[in-house]
Structure 1
Amino acid sequence: MLRTASLLAASLALSAALIHPAQAKVTVSISCSSLGIEMELCRDGAQAWAKQTGNEVKLVSTPADAQERLALYQSLLAAKSDKIDIFQIDVVWPGILANQFLDLNQFIEPAKLDGYFQTLIANNTVDGKLVAVPWFVDAGMLYYRKDLLDKYGLKAPETWADLEAAAKQVMAGEQGIEGYVFQGRSYEGLVCNALEWIVSNGGGGLLDNGGQASFNNPQATAAVDRAKTWIGGIAPQGVLSYDEEQARGAFQSGKAVFMRNWPYAWALVNAPDSPVKDKVGVVPLPKGDGDKAVHTGTLGGQSLAVSKYSANPKEAVDLVLYLAGAEEEKRRAVKGAFNPSLKSVYNEPELKDDAFFSTFSKILESVATRPAAVAGKGYNQFSSQFVRAVHATLQGQGSAADNFASIRTSWK
């Protein structure tokens, strides 16, 4: 509780009023992620709404680490705090936090929701209650150094074997460069990576529709055991403590050939001051071996939910709809490479002919999903057990099969 309290104090200390109209109607507070340039984009969008409506908006900076942010949210909501009106939530949190959010069906006409990807609307609907509006959609993807692959006559990898071979070849010819960086820390990001390894190798999902564990099979364990061989080889030992930003930092500074990350990294690696600007390409993540191998990326994304304890629910919903509206989603896509949750925005000229967004649309065709809906409120516990088993395997503490055997088998 002390850690959560300190996180809250730090977050609220960073709160900043974005605009002060002479006669502000109400003040709406919103939590935004501090990952990459998310805070900047959130601030600019919220400020535009405040100017348009005459209301005031306060930003609450929350931890970039998803588990820390969830713990903060749970503490605030359990206390029925009105410090935050709008919560930016992860794609796997609706089932965990549903009881603390308003049913947005009571505020939003159904026609306004038709334009969103309906898989995202379904993901945000718990027991018939729409707990959040989709804001942007994510999926894991592979970033690679075009210049280095060209130098050695290599193509973007189709399989994990291709990636391993290419990484070793470039590492042998270049000083001070790693082959592959990803999110190897023991947190939710590693769940996403491991799910991609497993599904891409034909190992299926993590839980079946009945909530029974389905990941302890030969294809799944082989995929995680394979990843273990990367540590200290094509991947640095330090990758076991990497999150998204640490992986991006290594790749963007020119110290890695390949990186697994979310779409947000695209705008940053191509920023004017980036050492790898215009040297990077993106493709779907590699597939494994065998007939069941597929390209996949873990489905991610963020939505906006309104607290049951908000003193200004109508204004909060209005801000949610503004931020998740077509113009704002297009702006975020162009400036930050955040993929829209509205289907129509992909047809905008700025996005339609862009190679990055066309690649992402292909990735969306075969995404892997975490079993948040199946596990419901138990997902957080399942995720913790699963990620501990995967991390132990990567550290060389037993095989994937042995570590998976320690995870509870029923989650319904």
Structure 2
Amino acid sequence: MMLKGIPLLIAAAAFLAGACLGSGRASAVEIAVSCGSMGQELELCRQGAEAWAKQTGNSVRLVPTPESATERLAYYQQLLAGQAPDIDVYLLDVVWPGILASHFVDLKPYSKGQEKEHFPAIVDNNTVDGKLIAMPFFTDAGLLYYRRDLLEKYGLGVPETWEDMTNAAKKIQAAERQAGHDRMWGFVFQGRAYEGLTANALEWVDSFGGGTIVDAEGNVTVDNPQAAAALKLAQSWIKDIAPEGVLNYSEEEARGVFQAGDAVFMRNWPYAWALTNGGDSPVRGKVGVAALPRGGDKGKHTGVLGGWNLAVSRYSRHPEIAASLVMYLTGSAEQKRRAIVGAFNPTMPALYQDADVLKANPFLKSLYSTFTDAVARPSRVTGEQYNRVSYAFWDAVHGVLAGQAEPEQALSSLERDLKRLGRRGW
């Protein structure tokens, strides 16, 4: 009788195992995701990933990464070169697809056409050799933050040119210090020698009509009088309207000074809006946002295209499930939530007409063209060489800001170096 009962027990066990698999629980997997480095960015990522996990029955593990984009890229390259499965979903800067494309799966088989809901320019940026290697997560462009109350106090308008901004910063800084605010500075920005300085400096150069370092045809164009004039003005800010410490500021250091009430103007990305207007912010309700100034009367308003994207590693053990997480996090509902809670710019045009999004971020409507017409860094044309191009550019600019070289000298040397690099092939 016992022998006859064994097949029945096996059959029952098989039935129960099948029932568990059908429920999605026994087959649940853990997906490791890198989608934020710290603070609100990391918390919003965690919330979104956990909501997906609850919906699908899988689990997620957030992988901490360096805050600096430069350090994060180096960390990614180390993992990917070793084909490590440690991270399933990677957060990619908008300038990285050309550098890292070979390490990520084509998402088109998993997207079900979802990419058509996003800005075409970002989708094109993320498409390499016909493969959609990343989905748009949020977009960015550099913006000018200003103390609305201080401009009103001193009878000044929002600056249209960098020269206007410089003069307004000097006037307010001097008056506030005379009134006892010894720590007041006119302008803070991202001056550390890293990718953030490439973004800032390209905004200065392009706003003066000095081009984009390397043009769309691959020609090095950075050594020109307009670029030199832009850097000369920026050099004059240091220790005048900007603290010398700005040479080591990233986004958060600049925001810290501005949000503490110790700066009149700040260049930063849109994420800073929600934080400067947070409940514990000393400048809550006193901040305005505008397009970055023009480079002189003949210049243009320019913000560098930024933003981040989500990609699935070729070395993931569960690429299909990882892709499901990517589609959830980059979908309309999650992008709307992130825009309202954290001021992360959606990559879907439809959300720029959403009443809830606009209520939380009133500047989005008036600055829509700033995001859609943002100037791109030359990452597509320089491909895998972009990191070297950017390093050479920010290093040269940092030397100018630190007073170690004059703009004309630095740009001439930079152009020679980039041409040598370009001869090896972009």
TM-score (norm 1): 0.92
**How many angstroms does 1:362 deviate by?**
2.9
Residue 327 (structure 1) aligned with residue 333 (structure 2): yes
SS in structure 1 of the partner of residue 111 of structure 2 = coil
Instruction: Tell me the residue number matched to 2:393.
Output: 386
Q: Name which of 131, 139, 142 aligns with 1:140.
A: 142
Counterpart CA distance in 1 for 2:108 and 2:270 is 30
Instruction: Tell me the residue number matched to 1:255.
Output: 262
**How many angstroms does 1:35 deviate by?**
4.6
The answer on whether the counterparts of 1:295 and 1:366 sit within 8 Å (CA) in structure 2 is no
Residue 356 (structure 1) aligned with residue 363 (structure 2): yes
The answer on whether the counterparts of 1:284 and 1:359 sit within 8 Å (CA) in structure 2 is no
Instruction: Tell me the residue number matched to 1:406.
Output: 413
Counterpart CA distance in 2 for 1:392 and 1:248 is 23
Counterpart CA distance in 2 for 1:40 and 1:208 is 38
Instruction: Tell me the residue number matched to 1:45.
Output: 48
The answer on whether the counterparts of 2:138 and 2:344 sit within 8 Å (CA) in structure 1 is yes
Using the aligned pairs only, state the percent identity: 52
Counterpart CA distance in 1 for 2:110 and 2:327 is 11
Instruction: Tell me the residue number matched to 1:115.
Output: 117
Counterpart CA distance in 2 for 1:290 and 1:169 is 21
Higher helix share: 2
Instruction: Tell me the residue number matched to 2:271.
Output: 264
**How many angstroms does 1:290 deviate by?**
4.1
Q: How does 1:201-212 map to 2 (within 5 A)?
A: 201-212=208-219
Counterpart CA distance in 2 for 1:32 and 1:318 is 15
Instruction: Tell me the residue number matched to 2:173.
Output: 171
Instruction: Tell me the residue number matched to 2:77.
Output: 74
Residue 104 (structure 1) aligned with residue 107 (structure 2): yes
Structure 1 segments of 4+ aligned residues over 6 angstroms from their partners: none
Q: How does 1:84-103 map to 2 (within 5 A)?
A: 84-103=87-106
| Worse-matched range after superposition: 388-397 or 365-374 | 365-374
Q: How does 1:330-349 map to 2 (within 5 A)?
A: 330-349=336-355
| Worse-matched range after superposition: 395-404 or 135-144 | 395-404
**How many angstroms does 1:347 deviate by?**
2.0
Instruction: Tell me the residue number matched to 1:3.
Output: none
Counterpart CA distance in 2 for 1:342 and 1:364 is 12
Counterpart CA distance in 2 for 1:205 and 1:95 is 17
- Which digits, 9 at most, give the CA deviation of each residue in 1:326-369, with x for residues without a partner? 00000000000000011222222112454221133131243111
Instruction: Tell me the residue number matched to 1:155.
Output: 157
- Which digits, 9 at most, give the CA deviation of each residue in 1:68-111, with x for residues without a partner? 100110000111111100000000000000000001123223x3
Counterpart CA distance in 1 for 2:343 and 2:58 is 28
Instruction: Tell me the residue number matched to 1:244.
Output: 251
Instruction: Tell me the residue number matched to 1:281.
Output: 288
CA 1:328–1:72 in structure 2 vs 1: closer, same or farther (change >3 Å)?
A: same
Instruction: Tell me the residue number matched to 1:372.
Output: 379
Structure 2: any 5+ residue segments left out of the alignment?
A: 1-23
Counterpart CA distance in 1 for 2:358 and 2:267 is 24
Structure 1: any 5+ residue segments left out of the alignment?
A: 1-20
- Which digits, 9 at most, give the CA deviation of each residue in 1:128-183, with x for residues without a partner? 11110000000000000011111111111111111111111111111220000000
Letter of the 1:138 partner, please give it. Answer: D
Counterpart CA distance in 2 for 1:163 and 1:307 is 44
Bigger Cα Rg? 2
Counterpart CA distance in 2 for 1:83 and 1:132 is 18
**How many angstroms does 1:209 deviate by?**
2.2
**How many angstroms does 1:33 deviate by?**
2.2
Counterpart CA distance in 2 for 1:234 and 1:188 is 23
| Worse-matched range after superposition: 29-38 or 242-251 | 29-38
Letter of the 1:394 partner, please give it. Answer: L
Q: How does 1:7-18 map to 2 (within 5 A)?
A: none
Counterpart CA distance in 1 for 2:81 and 2:91 is 17
Counterpart CA distance in 1 for 2:318 and 2:405 is 53
TM-score (norm 2): 0.89
Counterpart CA distance in 2 for 1:385 and 1:36 is 30
Q: Name which of 62, 67, 70 aligns with 2:65.
A: 62
RMSD of aligned Cα (Å): 1.3
The answer on whether the counterparts of 1:23 and 1:54 sit within 8 Å (CA) in structure 2 is no
Counterpart CA distance in 2 for 1:149 and 1:122 is 40
- Which digits, 9 at most, give the CA deviation of each residue in 1:283-330, with x for residues without a partner? 000011142x00010000000000000011111001000000000000
